[in-house]
Chains A and B, each alone.
Chain A
Amino acid sequence: MTGLAQLTRHRLFWPIVALFVLLLASTLKHHTFIEVTIRDGHLYGGPIDILRRSSILLLVALGMTLVIATRGIDLSVGAVMAIAGAVTLSQIADSPDPGSLTTVALAMATGLAVCLVIGVFNGFLVAVLGIQPIIATLVLMTAGRGIAMLITGGQITTVTSAPYKALASGFWLGLPIAALIAGFFFAVVAVVTRRTALGVLIESVGINPVASRLAGVRARTIIWTVYVLCALFACIAGFLQSSNIMAADSNNAGLFIELDAILAVVIGGTSLAGGKFSLTGTLVGVLVITTLTLSITVIGIPVNAVSLFKALVVIVVCLLQSPVVQHKLRARRRKAAPVPVEVPA
């Protein structure tokens, strides 16, 4: 019983329960959902689809976790995705040979450079000028899509380029390339933050910026770095997104993804107040949100009710994680038998 109590008290317990319930419901509806088969030399099935689809959100949420850990927030990621797609696809479309690997690599380098500038700009506003993160990044959230449209001339730029298309729809070693890219960056960030002091430094800045500065932590540099990283990850997510549809749609690329990313981070147990962050939690949060979106269609909930269903799950998970409910659950557990497992939504 104490084991169960400890388990339910873990902050990732409810999100993981939600994830399993969603997977279970999908499998009950369509028995083949959970099956992974080999087709055309690569893996195929529901879980693989979830991995592929969650790659964009995972990249954005990865940067967002670091930013939130420093007590910040980055609302501009969606706009950055749009700009990344616009810059890269415009360059590919204007080049004489859109299909060559060099063209694609150069265009992506340009996209990354532009996003680097954006990240530096956001970081400058927050770390040097000391503007509140939510408002500093709101500037680019508003202006960013306008800038992206300026780059594409208000058109939806489309290209045909095999190497670029492979980013989102290709497979390597039987796994989707998009998921491999996201997984690679996740692993790198996890290793760098947990095997070096960087993670602890980020947390210390988030818990108390002044104290950490007095303790000799270069708070300003660290805050600046996380905004740059966040913009770069958003840029890569923008590549994947535009490669997915092979078009740069400045109006809809990454629309509201900042909200989904923040939600994933919060579901994963990282507090918006900064400090301790959990990359595993973010991964779980991303999987919950992606599975939610996918399973809604699988379970057969009408498309009109998707947003409603999502809202209900989010509210239930947030309420279950809230300090008040946690406290009550704990009090009840002490008095009587273990609590029956509640099924979200």
Chain B
Amino acid sequence: MATDQMTVQASGKGPQPTVKPAPRRSLPVLDRRYLPVLGTFVVLVLMLVIGGTRYENFLSGRVMANLFINNSFLIVVAVGMTFVILTGGIDLSVGAVVALSTCISAWMFLHGWDAIITIPASILVGTLIGWIVGVMVHVFEIQPFIATLAAMFLARGLCYVVAPESIPITDATIVKLSETRWEIVDNFAVTPSGVIALSVVLVAFVTLHYTRFGRTVYAIGGNEQSARLMGLPVARTKVLVYVISGTCAGLGGLLFAVFARSGYSLTGVGMELDAIAAVVIGGTLLTGGSGFVLGSVLGVLVLGLIQTIITFEGTLSSWWTKIVIGALLLVFVILQRLLVVRRR
């Protein structure tokens, strides 16, 4: 206190220090929460600049539109994953659930079901599996890693039963969904899948930041015991995040069906890792409690851009994608770690 007063009274240099610390103090506060996401954003911009200067037509509307269209299902899956990771859990089943949802919609179309029934059914399959996982995690206290692993085997197993071979989808609704393109500016078109993905992001954003449920999700990730002692509905929320993740994976499967127009039991192998990588690159802590759904979207775009750049480069082999993603993951993880250390 005394020193405070003294600095104020030492008015010779008074105005300058008192003005300057204010923004300096407020900036780090912003930084701490947003720095990981900001880092992802900088990487994204850097990649766009590098791509734009190296290759012609890289920054064209078509390439950017394709970035969204080709990754719409991954965006949806990563959004669901963000909820789970924010509570400190993990969901390994999403890739298999995407495949299951795709297979079931293909199978139902093959057997003459109408799109009005098939589309909700393929999404609800994900919801159901998410609920089973939630119950296993919460009621039976099985670790999320193992519970979602079992769910992954279950979903993948059902895939093989439903669609041992690739089933083409010829349903009129799906075909229309996959062929519709709304051109906004020249060459920059938006597809229904892109719109669905963006609306999922929007809904998730509002849910996480402007509802009680969202705050509870963050609270559980911060400290589950404290959240319980505060009287927050921990049980319900923990089951719900897996339901959300499952539903998102189901929806992602539907988008994948629209994208690929076939159902195949081996789709989405390793997609859970892409989703987790996107969430981590997007700045969400795997311990839970800190992160943003928009960061995950940026993470997916970064992954997509790596793929695009490698395609544009032409001479680079496909395996460089994996190596670059791994390296990027490493950089971000170390960066996050340094941030956490500094905070303490």
Chain A residues with CB under 8 A of B164: 304
Flag if A272 contacts B145 (CB, 8 Å): yes
Interface of chain B: mostly helix, strand, loop or mixed: helix
- Given contacts A129-B334, A307-B160, 9 further A-B pairs with CB under 8 A are A138-B276, A138-B280, A139-B333, A143-B326, A145-B322, A146-B323, A149-B317, A259-B149, A306-B160
In B299-344, the 8 Å CB interface with A consists of: 317-323, 325-327, 329-330, 333-334, 337, 341
Q: Mark B155-177, 1 if CB is under 8 A from A, else 0.
A: 01111110010000000000000
- Asked if residues A308 and B157 are in contact (CB atoms below 8 Å), the reply is yes
Looking at B140, B158, B164, B320, which has the most chain A CB atoms within 10 Å of its CB? Answer: B140
Given contacts A138-B277, A311-B154, are A145 and B319 in contact (CB under 8 A)?
A: yes
Task: Report Cα–Cα, A264/B329, bound state, in Å.
Answer: 28
**A198 contacts partner chain B, Cβ-Cβ < 8 Å:** no
A325 beta carbon closer than 8 Å to chain B: yes
Asked if B293 is at the interface of the complex by the 8 Å CB criterion, the answer is: no
* Total A-B residue contacts, Cβ distance less than 8 Å: 131
Question: Would you call B141 and A134 a contact (CB within 8 A)?
Answer: no
Q: Are B323 and A150 in contact (CB under 8 A)?
A: yes
A52→B141 CA distance, assembly (Å): 35
7 residue pairs from A and B, CB less than 8 Å apart:
A139-B333, A143-B322, A149-B319, A266-B146, A318-B150, A319-B136, A322-B140
Whether B333 lies near A324 (C-beta < 8 A) is no
Binding site for A on B (CB under 8 A): 90, 92, 136, 139-143, 145-147, 149-154, 156-161, 164, 273, 276-277, 280, 286-287, 317-323, 325-327, 329-330, 333-334, 337, 341
Scan A111-146; emit 1 where CB is below 8 A from any B CB, else 0: 000000000000001000111101110111111111
User: CB-nearest residue of chain B relative to A149?
Assistant: B319
Q: Tell me the minimal C-beta distance from A29 to chain B in angstroms.
A: 21
Q: How far is the CA of A70 from the CA of B253 in the complex (A)?
A: 37
- Tell me how far the C-beta of A314 lies from the nearest C-beta in chain B, rounded to whole angstroms: 5
Residue numbers in B under 8 Å from A138 (CB-CB):
273, 276-277, 280, 329
**Are B317 and A305 in contact (CB-based, < 8 A)?**
no
Residues of A close to B280: CB separation below 8 A:
135, 138
A309 interfacial by beta-carbon distance below 8 Å: yes
Q: A142-B277, A146-B319, A259-B149 are in contact. Are A315 and B154 (CB under 8 A)?
A: yes
Instruction: Across the interface, name the chain B residue whose C-beta is closest to A304.
Output: B160
A343 to B299, CA, bound (A): 45
Residues of A within 8 A of B327 (CB): 139, 143
B150 touches A308 (CB 8 A): no
Is the beta-carbon distance between B141 and A323 smaller than 8 angstroms? yes
Interface size class of A (residues with CB under 8 A): 35 or more
Once A146-B323, A305-B157 are accepted as A-B contacts, the answer to whether A318 and B333 lie under 8 Å apart by CB is: no
Q: Are B157 and A146 in contact (CB under 8 A)?
A: no
Point out which of A146, A147, A149, A323 has the most chain B C-beta atoms below 10 A from its C-beta: A146
**Docked-complex contact A129 and B326, CB < 8 angstroms:** no
In the complex, what residue of chain A is closest to B159 when comparing beta carbons?
Answer: A307
Q: Across the interface, which residues of A come within 8 angstroms of B277, CB to CB?
A: 138, 142
Query: Min CB distance, B299 to chain A, in Å?
Result: 13
- On whether the beta carbons of B286 and A324 are closer than 8 Å, the reply is no
- Bound form: Cα–Cα A305–B159 in Å: 9
How many angstroms from the CA of A125 to the CA of B333 in the assembled complex? 10
- Tell me which of B145, B326, B341 contacts A262 (CB under 8 A): B145
Measured CB to CB, the nearest residue on chain B to A308 is B157
Q: How far is the CA of A140 from the CA of B337 in the complex (A)?
A: 17
Q: What residues of chain A lie closer than 8 Å to B90, measured between beta carbons? A: 134
- Indicate if the CB atoms of A146 and B322 lie closer than 8 Å: yes
Which B residues are CB-close (under 8 A) to A147?
A: 323
> Distance (Å) between the CB of A96 and the closest chain B CB?
28
Give the residues in chain B near A262, CB-CB below 8 Å. 145-146, 149
Q: Which chain B positions have C-beta within 8 A of A306?
A: 157, 160
Q: Which of B286, B326, B337 contacts A134 (CB 8 A)?
A: B286
- A2 to B280 CA separation, bound complex (whole angstroms): 50
Q: Are B323 and A263 interface neighbours, CB within 8 A?
A: no
Could you say which of B145, B287, B341 has the most chain A C-beta atoms within 10 Å of its C-beta? B145
- B158 cross-chain contacts in A, Cβ below 8 A: 308
Q: Decide yes or no whether A174 CB sits under 8 A from chain B.
A: no
Q: Are B157 and A309 in contact (CB under 8 A)?
A: yes
- Residues in B with CB closer than 8 Å to A312 are 154
A286 to B304, CA, bound (A): 38
A135–B158 Cα distance when bound, in Å, is 29
Do residues A146 and B287 form an inter-chain contact, with CB atoms below 8 A? no
Contacting pair A304 B150 (CB below 8 A): no
